[in-house]
Amino acid sequence: MNKEDKLVLGGREFNSRFILGSGKYNLELIKAAVENAGAEIITLAVRRANTKDSENIMDYVPENVTLLPNTSGARDASEAVRIAHLSRELGGGDFVKVEIMKDSKYLLPDNNETIKATEILAKEGFVVLPYMYPDLYVARELENVGAAAVMPLASPIGSNRGLATKDFIQILIDEIDLPIIVDAGIGKPSEACAAMEMGASAIMCNTAIATAKDIPMMATAFKNAIEAGRSAYLAGLGRVLTRGSESMDPLTGFLRD
Amino acid sequence: MNKEDKLVLGGREFNSRFILGSGKYNLELIKAAVENAGAEIITLAVRRANTKDSENIMDYVPENVTLLPNTSGARDASEAVRIAHLSRELGGGDFVKVEIMKDSKYLLPDNNETIKATEILAKEGFVVLPYMYPDLYVARELENVGAAAVMPLASPIGSNRGLATKDFIQILIDEIDLPIIVDAGIGKPSEACAAMEMGASAIMCNTAIATAKDIPMMATAFKNAIEAGRSAYLAGLGRVLTRGSESMDPLTGFLRD
Amino acid sequence: MNKEDKLVLGGREFNSRFILGSGKYNLELIKAAVENAGAEIITLAVRRANTKDSENIMDYVPENVTLLPNTSGARDASEAVRIAHLSRELGGGDFVKVEIMKDSKYLLPDNNETIKATEILAKEGFVVLPYMYPDLYVARELENVGAAAVMPLASPIGSNRGLATKDFIQILIDEIDLPIIVDAGIGKPSEACAAMEMGASAIMCNTAIATAKDIPMMATAFKNAIEAGRSAYLAGLGRVLTRGSESMDPLTGFLRD
Amino acid sequence: MNKEDKLVLGGREFNSRFILGSGKYNLELIKAAVENAGAEIITLAVRRANTKDSENIMDYVPENVTLLPNTSGARDASEAVRIAHLSRELGGGDFVKVEIMKDSKYLLPDNNETIKATEILAKEGFVVLPYMYPDLYVARELENVGAAAVMPLASPIGSNRGLATKDFIQILIDEIDLPIIVDAGIGKPSEACAAMEMGASAIMCNTAIATAKDIPMMATAFKNAIEAGRSAYLAGLGRVLTRGSESMDPLTGFLRD
């Protein structure tokens, strides 16, 4: 991969395009997962950061990894803003992933509250990465109010169902001048690879790894798949024939290798 | 990846699970493609091997790479056998990929002629890898007559259409005690990754790389995707929810990372 | 079909679950299309209703068919409200389909402006059917502000791409206590049928019919497919085996009909 | 539908394109299912025909319906031929559906034995409809040896998994000059409709109806869906946009109905 192919978020450069979640993990496995994933960013629920438990998480995360505190548990913009402030006070830095959900069955993001929180936090100097439902107008609003990226969902959180929003994530990739980070629902490395082939800038993943039988090995699998998808996007995918086949050597007719 | 995870074909061990085709390539690109793909096996049409052109191909293939001569151009078992014999005389070794097609529009393999040629060549001591249409009974026959692996097609040759035969390749993986090498039609790294996640033993690919804008980079992409799919298969994919979502931390309810 | 299985919109009962668009049509074909479709509701752009052209349309629509004026061309809530008022003045009745789009490339609905217009018009006594992007929270808002149904898109208008939003339309069907009318993007009768099998209450379709080679026959096809999907939903679809097969007669083992 | 649009099998004309299976049914439901399906052909296992049980079945099948005896239970060509002879002796007529399977897990047809039996029975004057795995070369062989139609599977028998062989059934439709009757695995009316839209000549279905909660209503659903798919095929499906949308009235730009 070209050394110049960096993911830029809030002016900071990253080589890895794999953002790892820290939920559901056996703590002893987090370090291995981060290392195998080659992740440079790991999310952490602020609510959890403020507990004994999270102190342990910090111990297991390598030093060079950027923490991305998230506002999970927030049900509206004001709660998200309050959690972000708490995160900064706790030393969580200026990065924040805005997550606002009212619904406990599908855990879908509330786009309007997300726009409000993003605007407030961006004005306060946060580097804001909002989790969102992939609606083109909402993505434009998020861009207008200062988001550093948008994080559309692939399918409901924790479902491992893959790219249910595929066509609409493609629209965001084509129309929005921000990194598009596909978040939630990616269940297999092949799905992460496919999202990257479409031109996504990065993948955020948690459950697919946390529910695998061998967590560190699955982290490796995702790392390789995401790099594969990025390379394929940059390399330019070949054409697809909708009908028929194509012999590889037109001169010799029936000959192929 | 575990050092012990080898692909075994005809008693020979391979670390790479990516078999590269040599058709359609600009010769200067073959070396780069092989190196980027990390391929240890490359196919070559015997008809081409017997020409000035193929001497050039040999020059560009690294020494440690195993050549897999194929019988492309054969329209029945006797032609395939004759081409295999020619290959051995030319120093092509004991490996042979049996390809028998009568149809120039879809380039689909003739399963019955393929069984016949496989039986003859296997008895003569060849390590036979037959290209086949993924029919369970045919795969059993190929196993019975001595094939070293079976190579079912994903979709028509050169089409880049992906895993059109997915359900039936899964049946072969579950039922046949030979390596299943998915061949033909794989158009994207994500598709190669998905086939490996299902439990395929290796991927054979040509057109997807030859038609990419940046050939060496696409070879790298396929290499990583195939390794990712293999790791994911070994690591054990997580469960998929058909409805709803799942918060990552049941104790704290609405909390996730 | 049970005589009691009615679609109820704004207190009015309909036997047909097929809402026909009137755009793009050769006027002479509209009557045939409506008759073949068995449609009891046909949409009409208010902007067009106010022209010579639309007078013609009226002439070709059977008397017992309910006109559903739409606000297409509106870019925000106030424009939509103004168009709805104009429609009522012109004798268009109390039904209105709210369509608000800012984007000419994808023609996606602006959910927030749609909620605003729906609230205003519902308070004024209109029977409001809003065209919307299938976001669960937005559907809940539309329900709260008085929509008579919600009309989520299947895929971009005029694309004939089918059920790209499938998983999210299913969520609306499961969670929202209003008729879910799938609108935009349905390109084939089989897709309309599939949406009805999921539990959609009706299908709105225009381009798939207007771009068919034989328009009246395609209208018939959609009519039958929508009725088929409704019957299948009411009849209860059978279980799907994810692996293997099932002989139809367990007692006689290998026997089936 | 055009009165001239007939399905022709063995010189006999049928208006219905829905072939109903008789396995798994509560006998009391068969009559209702046949009537609701509008089926003119119903399959019956010969092994069952020779029992008290089948006498009952006969009682419940309307007189104008053609019985299509099948050879289920046959494991090779000679068994299938023997069963066909028995069928003729029992008064089953000259129609026979050849079904030969060795495998009890997937119930996949043995294409080679099927070709052999088809050849023998066609020479003896039977109207032979072979159940087959959709392999182009095999379909050509079946055509050459005198089959009256080919019956490729959509997915494994009884699975309700739908069109897993879609691309290859399309190839048969495009290349083989016989009616293509999609058999086995169709689980929903929308899938039957989709197969007909592709150009299939008829649909054979059993489990999807037998496992529905309301059997007669599901039979109605399939009838309508199959007619819808046929009409759509004849009417000519509209084009699909792979990206973007299309306003219905290019002159007025942002206007649609």
pLDDT, tens digit, 9 for 90 and up, residues A207-229: 888 888 998 899 999 999 999 99
**Chain D interface disruption, residue of B107, B136, B137, most D CBs within 10 A:** B137
Chain B residue numbers touching A99 (CB-CB < 8 A): 256
Q: Is C248 on the interface with D (CB under 8 A)?
A: yes
Q: Is C155 on the interface with A (CB under 8 A)?
A: yes
HEC profile of chain D: CCCCCCEEECCEEECCCEEECCCCCCHHHHHHHHHHHCCCEEEEEHHHHCCHHHHHHHHHCCCCCEEEEECCCECCHHHHHHHHHHHHHCCCCCEEEECEECCCCCCCECHHHHHHHHHHHHHCCCEEEEEECCCHHHHHHHHHCCCCCEEEECCCCCCCCCCCCHHHHHHHHHHCCCCEEEECCCCCHHHHHHHHHCCCCEEEECHHHHCCCCHHHHHHHHHHHHHHHHHHHHHCCCCCCCCCCCCCCHHHCCCCC
Which amino acid belongs to residue B120?
A: I
Q: Which residue in A has a C-alpha nearest to residue C133's C-alpha?
A: A135
Q: Is C206 on the interface with A (CB under 8 A)?
A: no
Pick from C160, C228, C246: CB nearest D221: C228
Question: Is residue D157 within 8 Å of D207, Cβ to Cβ?
Answer: yes
**Chain B interface disruption, residue of A26, A151, A190, most B CBs within 10 A:** A190
Residue C207, annotated ligand binder? yes
Model confidence pLDDT, tens digit, residues C2-37: 558 999 999 999 999 999 888 766 666 777 778 888
Residues of the binding site of A: 158, 184-185, 206-207
pLDDT(A251) > 70 = no
Task: List, by residue number, the catalytic residues of B.
Answer: 97
Look up D97 and say whether it is catalytic: yes
Q: Residue A192: name the closest of A18, A5, A8, A13 by CA.
A: A18
Chain A residue numbers touching B191 (CB-CB < 8 A): 190
Question: Is residue A69 within 8 Å of A47, Cβ to Cβ?
Answer: no
Residue C125, annotated ligand binder? no
Q: Considering only A36-40, B231-235, C108-112, which range has the smallest mean pLDDT?
A: A36-40
Does the interface ipTM go beyond 0.85? Answer: yes
Q: Which residue in D has a C-alpha nearest to residue A244's C-alpha?
A: D171
pLDDT at B23: 73
Q: Is A107 on the interface with B (CB under 8 A)?
A: yes
pLDDT at D30: 77
**Chain A interface disruption, residue of C106, C141, C161, most A CBs within 10 A:** C106
Chain B residue numbers touching D198 (CB-CB < 8 A): none
Side-chain-side CA neighbours of residue C254 (13 Å)? 15
Q: Is C245 on the interface with D (CB under 8 A)?
A: yes
Q: Is B102 on the interface with D (CB under 8 A)?
A: yes
pLDDT(C67) > 80 = yes
Pure H helices in chain B: 27-37, 46-49, 52-60, 77-89, 111-123, 136-144, 166-175, 189-197, 207-210, 215-235
Q: Is D75 on the interface with B (CB under 8 A)?
A: no
Q: How many Å separate Cα D44 from the centre of its chain?
A: 13
Pairing of strands C12-14, C7-9: antiparallel
Chain C residue numbers touching D240 (CB-CB < 8 A): 159-161, 187
Q: What is the pLDDT along chain B (257 residues), one digit of tens a residue?
A: 455 899 999 999 999 999 988 876 666 677 777 888 888 898 888 876 555 555 566 677 777 888 899 999 999 999 999 999 988 888 778 999 999 998 878 889 999 999 999 999 999 999 999 999 999 999 999 999 999 999 999 998 888 889 999 999 999 999 999 999 999 899 999 999 999 999 999 999 988 888 888 988 999 999 999 999 999 999 988 888 877 777 654 333 333 44
HEC profile of chain C: CCCCCCEEECCEEECCCEEECCCCCCHHHHHHHHHHHCCCEEEEEHHHHCCHHHHHHHHHCCCCCEEEEECCCECCHHHHHHHHHHHHHCCCCCEEEECEECCCCCCCECHHHHHHHHHHHHHCCCEEEEEECCCHHHHHHHHHCCCCCEEEECCCCCCCCCCCCHHHHHHHHHHCCCCEEEECCCCCHHHHHHHHHCCCCEEEECHHHHCCCCHHHHHHHHHHHHHHHHHHHHHCCCCCCCCCCCCCCHHHCCCCC
From chain A residues 10-49, the ones with a CB under 8 A of any chain B CB are 21-24, 43-45, 47-48
Q: What phi, psi does D173 have (nearest 5°)?
A: -60, -40
User: Could you give the maximum distance between any two Cα atoms of chain A, in Å?
Assistant: 71
Chain B residue numbers touching A255 (CB-CB < 8 A): 23, 45, 47-48, 72-73
Token output for C201: 């209450």
Q: Which helix (H) or strand (E) holds A221?
A: helix A215-235
SS3 A150: strand
Pick from B105, B137, B168: CB nearest D110: B137
User: What chains are in contact with C, requiring at least 3 Cβ pairs below 8 Å?
Assistant: A, B, D
Q: Is A110 on the interface with C (CB under 8 A)?
A: yes
Higher pLDDT, C104 or B95: B95
- The fourth-level CATH superfamily of domain B7-252 is Aldolase class I (3.20.20.70)
Annotated active-site residue in C97, C102, C116, C213: C97
Pick from A161, A193, A256: CB nearest B189: A193
Architecture (CATH level 2) of domain A13-252:
Alpha-Beta Barrel (3.20)
